[in-house]
Chains A and B, each alone.
Chain A
Amino acid sequence: MNESYSVEMRQIVKQFGTVVANDFVDFRAKPGQIHALLGENGAGKSTMMCMLSGVYRPTSGEIFIHGEPAKIRSPKDAMQLGVGMVFQNFRLVQTLTAAENIVLGEKSSFWRGAKWMSNKQQEIEAIAEHFGLSFPVNRPIWQLSVGEQQRVEIVKTLYRGANLIILDEPTSVLTPGEAEQLFATLQHMKAEGKTVILTTHKLKEVMAASDHISVMRKGKLIHSMGKTDTNERELAKLMVGKELGESRPFLPRPQGRRLLEVQQVDVYADHGRKSLDHISLHVNEGEIVGVAGVAGNGQKELAEVLTGLRSWKKGTIYFNGKALKNGSVRAAIESGIAHVPENRMKSGLAGSLGIVDNLLFKSYRTKERSRFGFLRIGANRSWSQSLVEQFDVKTPGLETPVQQLSGGNQQKLLFAREVHQEPLLMVAVHPTQGLDVGATEGVHRLMAEMRDEGKSVLLISEDLDEVIQLSDRIVVIYNGQIAAEVTREEADREKIGMYMAGLQDAEEEAG
C-alpha cells in the first residue's frame, strides 16, 4: 500500500553564511496527521518550516507537495500550493479588524459596501466556527487577546484554502486553557484531512496533541516516530542529546555569603503580560549560577531587572547586603553589577563609535576616566590600549568603528569593559551567541576566571551544554518561575531537559 505523503522535504540544507541551520534533513508528513517538530531553540525547526512556507529558499534539497516537486519562491507560491503558516510573531495589521486582515490582499471587488463586508464576515465566522475557533470579527486586532489573534491567523490560512497548516511555536503565547482549545481545533483540522505541523519545544504538548513526532537537534533530524512508539523521557533524551561537553578541571571553591537575593519578584513585560511570577533565586559569592530555559520564559526580564533596565512590581532584591534600587541602571552599575546583553550590537555596543568610546560606557563617570566633567583623553587611550591587549581584542586601531570587528572580538571587548569594572556579579545573557568555537572558549575562560577570583556570574543561556559545563549551580526557569534547582554534581541532562520543557516532579513520580 502506497502511503502518500502530503509533504516531503528531501535532503534539505539551509545555510546562512557559514552557519548551517539545516543539515541534510529529511522530513515527511501525511494528510490527516498532526505532526510535531520537536527541538530546542536553534535546532532548526523554524527554519525548515520557513522554507516550506516560502519565507526562505533552501540552499539545496527538494520539496514535494502531494508527490509533485514544488518550487516555493515566495509566501504567495506557498499559499497557492495550499501551504499556510502561522508565525510566532503574527503577520497582522494592528489597526484593521480581524475580518479585514483575513481578506487583505484579495483583489476581488473594488467596491466593498457594508453588504460585501458582512458577507465576508459570515463566511469567516462560518469557517471559524467549523473549526471551533472564536474571536470577534469586527474589532481591531490590537484589542484582541494574543490567543484570539492567533486564531485569526489560523482562520486566515483556512480561508485561503490551506491544506497544510504549519504552526510555529503556537503555545508559547497561550495560556494552558487556550492551548487546550487550540489542540481541539487541530483535531478538527485533522478530521478534515488536513496536514498539521507544529514546531515546539514543549514535551507535554507534543505527547498531548500530536500523532507523529520528529525530533531535531542542532540542525539535524534525529528521529521520527509515532507518538505511541515513544514517551516523554525518551523524547527529552533525544532533544538534548547525550554528548558530554568537554569537562574542564573544576576547582571546588568554598562558597561565600549570599550576594544576590531575589525574593518573590513580579515583573510585567511590555504588553502587560506577567513575565516573572513571584520568582525567587539567589547567587552566592564565587559561584556561577546557570539559568537554563527555553527563550521566552522570563530570562530577558530577569536580566533587565537585575541591571536596572526594567522595574519590578512586587518583591525585593538585595544585592551585597543592600536593597537594590528599582529600575536604575546607574545604581546597578555602581553597586557592582555588570551586564553582557543578549544582542551586543543592539544594546551593548555603539557600532559607529570606536574602541575607546565603547569601553567608556560604564566607567566614564569615575574619576579615573574623567575629571570635573572632562574626559581624560590621554589616560583613557592608554587604558583602552592596555585593556585591548589584556583581553586580546584584535582590532586595526583604537578608532576603528566597533561594527567592523568580528563577533568574537566585539564580545571580548564587551567583556573587557564589564570585567574591568571589577563587578561583584556579572549578568551574562547568551554570551556566546553567534561566536565560533575559539571565541566561545575565550568567553568561557573569562567567566571561569571571574568565579575563581571570588566574583559571581549569572549565566542565562539557551545552550544547555554551556550551562552544564560552566555552572556551579543550575536553576531552570519556566513560565516566569524557577522550576528546579540542581547543583553541578546533581546535574542530569535529561532531567534538566524535562524541567525546561515544563514537566514537573509530580509527573515524574507518577511516571
Chain B
Amino acid sequence: MSDHKPVLNKGGTLSAEASHEPGKWNWRSYRIELDSSKKGSAWWIPIVSVLLALVVCGIFIAANGMNPFPVYKKMFTGAFGTSYGLTETLVKTIPLLLCGLGVAIAYRISVWNIGAEGQFAAGAMAATAVTIYFPNMPGILVIPAMIVFSIAAGGIWGLLTAIPRTYFQVNELVTSLMLNYVALLAMDYFVFGPWKDPKGMNFPGTPMFTDAQSLPVLGDTRLHLGLLFGLIAIVLYGFFIKYTRWGYELRLIGANSEAAKNAGIRISRHILLVMLISGGLAGLAGMAEVSGVTHRLMYGISPGYGYTAIIVAWLAKLHPIGLVVSSFLFGGLIVGGYSVQTIGLPSSISEMLQGAILFFLIAGGTVSKFRLRRIR
C-alpha cells in the first residue's frame, strides 16, 4: 500500500513526501521548495539587502582595524548631510540615472547591456568632438548639437553590441565588455593625442569648454541641467511603457517571448531598437558629465558609472520611481566613498558596498521565492 499522496502545487510542480505516521508532526512532512510562480518581488528585499551589505562590509572594516560606525556616519553625512554633499550626490545621480535607465530598458527584454561604460565614453567623445571641430558654432546650437551627437554616438555603440547578437548569436555580454575597453582606449587616444590641450600642464585633457559649451549649473554648486535630462527621460520611460504600443510590445516580450511571437512581434527588431535607446541614454549621460561637470574630456571621467548602473537597475526592479531612488542612493554611496578618503580609507569602499548589496539582492531575490510548504 502506497503511503504517498501527491499534491499539485500552484506552480504546476508535483510534490509528495512520505509521512510515515499521519497525525504526528514529522519534519519530513514539511519541505522547502522553489515556487516558480511567485515573483519574488517583495518590497523589503532591497532594504534588507542594503542593511546586510552594511553589516558585512562593516565586519571587513572592523577586521582592518577601524570602527565601522564612524566610517558609515562620515559616508552618510558626506553624501546627504550637507547641502554641498547633497548637490554632489545629485551630480553623481545624473549619470547613474541615465545609464541605469538604459540598462533597465534593455533588461526588460532580457538583453544585458554591460556596455553602458563604453557608450558613455562614446557620448562624451562625441560631445567633445563638437567643441573641438566646431569651435565657432553659434551659442544656441552648441548644446543641442552636443546632445544629438552624443545620443547618436552612444546609440551606435549600443548597436555594435546588438548586431552581433541578433545576426551572429554572439553573447552580448562579451561584446559589450570588449567594446567598453575599445571605447575607453579610443578616449585615451583622443585625450592624450590630437585633442590634448597644449596648455594642459599636469592634467591631461582637452581644452576647457566655453560657457556656451557647458551645461548651466545651479548657483554655486556643480548641479547641472543634466538632472533635467534624467528626470525627463524617466518620465518618458514610465509613460511609454504604460501608454504606448511600443511599451506594450516590450512588456509582452519580457513577459513571454513565445507568446509575443504569436502576436506578430518581431523580437530581433526590438533588440536592435532597445540597444539603440539604451546606448543613446548612456551616451547622453556622457555628454552631461563632460559638459556639465568636468567641462572637458579627460582621463577617468567615469568611475565605473556603467557598471554601477547595472546594480541601480536591478535594485530598482526596472521601476521608474525605483530607478530614481536607487540612483540617488548609489550616487550617495559614491560621494560617501570619496568623503571617507579624508580619514584614510580608499573610496573603493563604496564599490565594496555596491558588490555586497548586489550579492544580498540576488540572494534575497531567490530566497523570497522559497516557500515552506506543509504536505499532508
Contacts and interface: CB of A to CB of B under 8 A. Distances in A.
Whether A and B touch directly in their complex, counting CB atoms under 8 A apart, is answered as yes
A373 interface: yes
Contacts of B261: 309, 329, 347
B2 interface: yes
A59 B245 contact: no
Contacts of B248: 357, 360, 364, 375
Given A351-B255, A374-B243, A403-B37, A61 B262 contact: no
Given A333-B264, A352-B255, A58 B2 contact: yes
Interface string B244-267: 111010011001101111111000
Interface string B10-49: 0000101000000000000000000001010000000000
Contacts of A58: 2
Given A57-B4, A329-B264, A375-B245, A347 B14 contact: no
Contacts of B252: 350, 353, 357, 361
Contacts of B260: 350
Interface residues of B, number: 28
B243 A377 contact: yes
Contacts, number: 88
B260 to A, nearest CB: 8
Given A347-B259, A353-B252, A375-B248, A362 B2 contact: no
Contacts of B7: 17
A341 B6 contact: no
Given A357-B251, A374-B245, A375-B248, A350 B256 contact: yes
A373 B245 contact: yes
A58 B16 CA distance: 12
Interface string A292-309: 000000000000000111
Number of chain A interface residues as a range: 35 or more
B258 to A, nearest CB: 4
Contacts of A60: 1-2
A111 interface: no
B268 to A, nearest CB: 14
A346 interface: yes
Contacts of B263: 329, 361-362, 364
Contact of A16 (B1, B14, B37, B262): B14
B246 A59 contact: no
Interface in A331-372: 333, 339, 341, 346-353, 357, 360-362, 364-365, 370
Contacts of B228: none
B8 interface: yes
Contacts of A357: 248, 251-252, 255
B259 A350 contact: yes
A348 B262 contact: yes
Interface in A27-65: 57-61
A329 B14 contact: no
9 contacts: A17-B14, A309-B262, A347-B262, A349-B256, A350-B252, A357-B251, A360-B248, A361-B259, A375-B244
Nearest first, the 4 closest Cβ-Cβ pairs linking A and B are A17-B8, A350-B255, A330-B264, A329-B264
Interface of B: 1-2, 4-8, 14, 16, 37, 39, 242-246, 248, 251-252, 255-256, 258-264
Interface of A: 15-18, 57-61, 307-309, 328-330, 333, 339, 341, 346-353, 357, 360-362, 364-365, 370, 373-375, 377, 403
